[in-house]
Structure 1
Amino acid sequence: MGTRVSYPVEVKLKAIEMRLAGVPVKEVLSQLNIRNHTQLKTWMTWYKNGEMHRFEQPVGKQYSYGKGPEFDSETSKLKAENRQLKQQIEILKKYKELERKWYQKL
């Protein structure tokens, strides 16, 4: 199974703009380093359906109505962000420990 790639909104919109201008799919993929033509097809579908909010959603997080997670207050939003940042730090610590062990074996 391949890894997921998150493309910036600018790349997505540029790809749509190029396709609307008549640029061939293969050329769009190569110029913008997009891995799969079905990804471009999905973006075009979103554009044609007026689902512009979907371009800013993170990979794998298609929230209902396209508005992202709802928070009761600013405090709960900050708590969620804090929790996410702590998880990222923990992952980096684990990676650093693994890296240290790999170098010790060499």
Structure 2
Amino acid sequence: MIEHIVLFKFKDETTNEQKEEGMKRLRHLKLELPGILDIQSNHNFSDRSKGYEMGLTVRFTDKAALENYGPSDQHQAVVSYLKSIGMVDTLAVDFEISEEK
């Protein structure tokens, strides 16, 4: 399995309602793209976030599913929306989940 983590930073003018809509669109990708096992997104509440206001985690079946996700039309439509509402930066980390025995 692959874990994909993204942090988002927005302009001050971006409203919570706009961010909520962005998270809704991100979570909906589970219904649109193959290989997504779980997807979560919400507002940050930590004071250690260095200005990143929203987080996303996506768990994929494998690397091929992750590689399909990024350039897909559905994902790119959400990215376009996030940019249109004032997304100014993202930080992403991807790693393989090992099953310890």
When Rg is computed on C-alpha atoms for both structures, the one with the higher figure is: 1
For CA contacts below 8 A with separation 6 or more, give which structure has more relative contact order.
2
Higher fraction of helix: 1
Higher fraction of strand: 2
TM-score of the two chains, using structure 1 as the length reference: 0.22
TM-score of the two chains, using structure 2 as the length reference: 0.22
